[in-house]
Amino acid sequence: MTLLNELIENISKMGIKMKSNEIGKQYGELRKKYKLPVLKEIDMEFEISDLEQTSFLLRAIIRRIAEKLDFYTTIVEETLQPDTAKLYAIHESRVFDDEEKKEMYDFYKELMIISRKSIEVSLHGSEKEEASFINEFMNDWEKIKSRLLSYVKKMKDSWKAETDIKEDLEYLG
């Protein structure tokens, strides 16, 4: 590695570390004020240490949570209502029986309520409401994640079963 490349790499690492330290400092102050979760916990789940520095850190955290939540909600939605243009959705939808789909729909509704609440809180612009949302969400996150993991595991395992394209296409009748 050339000296220039080493210098660029070290400066880059310092920039990330400085940004992370600033976020950490800002979060620490908000954590004391609102009894927020430990930074490491929320960072592991939602990668907040790489957020750009902002005067609205809680709102930025909610946006990061909402992005991931939208991704997960889409996975559940595509299983409940598969798009015929997406073969994976058709295939994975078949492995859930009607009772599981009913449970999944109830879970989907819970995710949508959280998603819409994140928008509502962001629109209000109240730091106290934003902190409250983050606390409530993080209290429920392990249960949400556990349910998502059970669905995703079943979807993944569906690909191990012997099927052919005709079965997947005929599923839609």
Q: How far apart are CA 151 and CA 80, in angstroms?
A: 12
Q: Is 80 exceeded by the pLDDT of residue 88?
A: yes
Q: Which pLDDT belongs to residue 87?
A: 86
Q: φ and ψ at 36, to 5 degrees?
A: -75, 165
39: Cβ contacts below 8 Å, ≥ 6 apart: 24, 27, 28, 31, 48, 49
Q: What is the pLDDT of residues 51-80, one digit of tens each?
A: 887 789 999 999 999 999 999 999 999 999
Average pLDDT, the chain: 87
Name which residue leads in pLDDT, 10 or 125.
125
Q: Is 80 exceeded by the pLDDT of residue 164?
A: no
Taking a C-beta distance cutoff of 8 angstroms, is the pair 80, 104 a contact?
yes
Whether the model clears a pTM of 0.75, i.e. scores above it, the answer is yes
| Percent over 70 (pLDDT), the chain | 82
Q: How far apart are CA 17 and CA 9, in angstroms?
A: 12
Q: Is 50 exceeded by the pLDDT of residue 14?
A: no
Quickly state the pLDDT bin for 162 (edges 50, 70, 90). confident
Q: Is 70 exceeded by the pLDDT of residue 9?
A: no
